[in-house]
Structure 1
């Protein structure tokens, strides 16, 4: 798992002492993240060129021993690395940009729940950058090449205490299967209110991309949450992730009618979306039994 550095939190400091205290706190956060299993904190190339002190960019401040001593410099260099190549991430998710309060925000964007579902690490700035969630605007291309926008929350931390408060989240991330075959085996124990068609389990077993498997895991967990809490009737508003019914025309496609192991054929016209690509989890929700029947997992039909 990797975290992402919030480049918007980089700001100018009035003196060496103030900057020193800020970077000491950053170093303690990097150590705490490592304790939680976060191997790297990625940042943009632009961040390294931002002015921190008069006439000094971040790269120059790293060599200013009045601000960052050798031990802290080693921690920062070893735990933080650049976000490049950014094009690879953009191609994977079809993302065209992220914004917070009208400003571009790559770090917050990549960390948000609907993309990498990680955490963003920033420098503390009172009343502006604190330990809390921030809403990020995501701009991306849909499967038809049209730009669409959505809003997603980003977990943001600036102190070791803020990181500690997310311990359960980090523990969950560590335990998420990263291979479709493993997730398929664990579906019964992980999702007791979900019943999978044979074809859906086979499709899941063939998914090797760890990012896609993680995305599928979270969508299935969302279905489990709805059923376990007996939330009815079905509607787009009861789901955490984008989940909608097919159009009337597409709902009549033969692929929407899936035969399950009990011999019943069910109309799996609702779907939850996942990325990278145009991933779909098609299902039928039995509202009386509070059971989701998952009929298909894969690319858009």
Structure 2
């Protein structure tokens, strides 16, 4: 009913599966009568880490559908996106996010976070699950991508993820030493 994940201990081979079959029972009111209905269902399941592999897309987006507004997204950012840090300006942008962008931004941030969680220090860049590109050198040189970082230094945040509708951008910088990204801009393409 809640589109969740069943977790169990692998005490027998019956629990060594990625999906469980079950029966969902629920009450339905019809013309003043209440009837018990049931249906067979497949439920995500995990008793060992490898059972999560087929559910990674679902896990990485878990919670994004529950975000109701930009302010809600901003308040939940630390628990939802453990590998993303947000400059104060990006936090303000999240708070004021246009309602049509709340879900796309939440999903894009979740996919970025997933890539960072899985990022191996031996690889120069994460394997992104969303469209991520670096801006051209001319865009880097025009100053539009320069923002004051946490330490007060001005840095160029030339890597961005895209989201729609419109030309939405999330500009960020990678930190390979901590396998995190600092988000500097969430909004329209900077022109």
C-alpha separation between the residues in 2 aligned to 1:174 and 1:243? 19
Distance in 2 (CA, whole Å) between partners of 1:174 and 1:267 is 29
Per the TM alignment, residue 275 of structure 1 is displaced from its structure 2 partner at its CA by 0.6
- The 3 A distance-change label for structure 1 pair 160 and 271 is farther
CA RMSD in angstroms comes to 2.9
Partner of residue 79, structure 2: 189
In the alignment, the residues of structure 1 paired with residue 130 and residue 105 of structure 2 have an alpha-carbon distance, to the nearest angstrom, of 11
How many residues were matched structurally? 141
CA separation of 1:160 and 1:195: change in aligned 2, threshold 3 A: same
Q: 2:148 aligned with 1:272, yes or no?
A: no
SS class of match (1:254): coil
Q: What 5-or-longer segments of structure 1 have no aligned partner? A: 1-31, 36-70, 72-158
User: Any residues of structure 2 matched to 1:1-301 within 5 Å, and which?
Assistant: 161=41, 164=43, 169=58, 172=62, 175-209=65-99, 211-231=100-120, 232-234=123-125, 238-301=127-190
TM-score normalised to structure 2 length: 0.64
Q: Distance in 2 between matches of 1:174 and 1:246?
A: 27
Higher strand proportion (structure 1 or 2): 2
Larger radius of gyration: 1
Q: Is the contact between residue 243 and residue 270 of structure 1 (CA under 8 Å) also seen in structure 2? A: yes
Q: Which has the higher helix share?
A: 1
Cα distance in 2 between the residues matched to 1:214 and 1:271: 18
Q: Give the equivalent residue in structure 1 for 2:3.
A: none
TM-score scaled to structure 1, two decimals? 0.42
Q: What stretches of structure 2 of length at least 5 have no aligned partner?
A: 1-23, 31-38, 46-54
